Chains A and B, each alone.
Chain A
Amino acid sequence: EPEVTQTPSHQVTQMGQEVILRCVPISNHLYFYWYRQILGQKVEFLVSFYNNEISEKSEIFDDQFSVERPDGSNFTLKIRSTKLEDSAMYFCASSYHRDYSYNEQFFGPGTRLTVL
């Protein structure tokens, strides 16, 4: 069964460093998302991406964050200068279709980011 994959599974970085989290969405999906989950807290939406551009973003997704689809398969989240509070599990998700009825999103296994 097709699934969303993410690499790395765990990333440790120093505060102020740049990190890139990678995702390969399900191949025929058109919409891509990043969420994060700080330990013990809710899953929070960061950004959605469609047709090679950001379609929606949350307040969390400030200028330190960027997303890119560099080729036909990868979808990346870059954090330019990491802060301690960026430590979280980052989930990538994708969905095939988003019409007026549904938005069924499938999640990857996550990347645990630890900022020291």
Chain B
Amino acid sequence: EDKVVQSPLSLVVHEGDTVTLNCSYEVTNFRSLLWYKQEKKAPTFLFMLTSSGIEKKSGRLSSILDKKELFSILNITATQTGDSAIYLCAVDFFGNEKLTFGTGTRLTIIP
């Protein structure tokens, strides 16, 4: 069965800290890995990583994909209170149209 595991489940840090969120997966026919930020409701798309794009950066957020070890990390530097959210990792694979989600990491930034 395809599996996506995120760690830690929750994380509390102070504003200005750097955090690293982890996502490991076991899927056959891997196609891409996606990171989403979920605040009050909708998951908001952050990054998609594929075999042709294993590193992405946008402002204070960056992500890498290790296809050999089957994991991805999401880094957030100089965290702000607005970064408080649940961060979801999802995996997409060939032969399927669904995204398989992990349980998410709840990140809380203390001012």
Q: List residues of chain A with CB under 8 Å of any chain B CB.
A: 4, 31, 33, 35, 41-45, 48, 50, 55-56, 58, 89, 91, 98, 100-110
Contact = CB atoms under 8 A, between A and B. Distances in A.
A104 B48 CA distance: 7
A53 to B, nearest CB: 13
A31 B92 CA distance: 14
Given A33-B97, A42-B102, A103-B97, A109 B42 contact: yes
Given A91-B43, A109-B41, A102 B101 contact: no
B88 A104 contact: no
Contact of A48 (B52, B88, B97, B100): B97
A48 B31 contact: no
Interface in B52-111: 52, 88, 90, 92, 94, 96-104
B28 interface: no
Given A41-B103, A91-B42, 16 more contacts: A33-B98, A42-B101, A42-B103, A43-B43, A43-B99, A43-B101, A48-B98, A50-B97, A55-B97, A56-B96, A56-B97, A56-B98, A89-B41, A101-B32, A102-B50, A103-B31
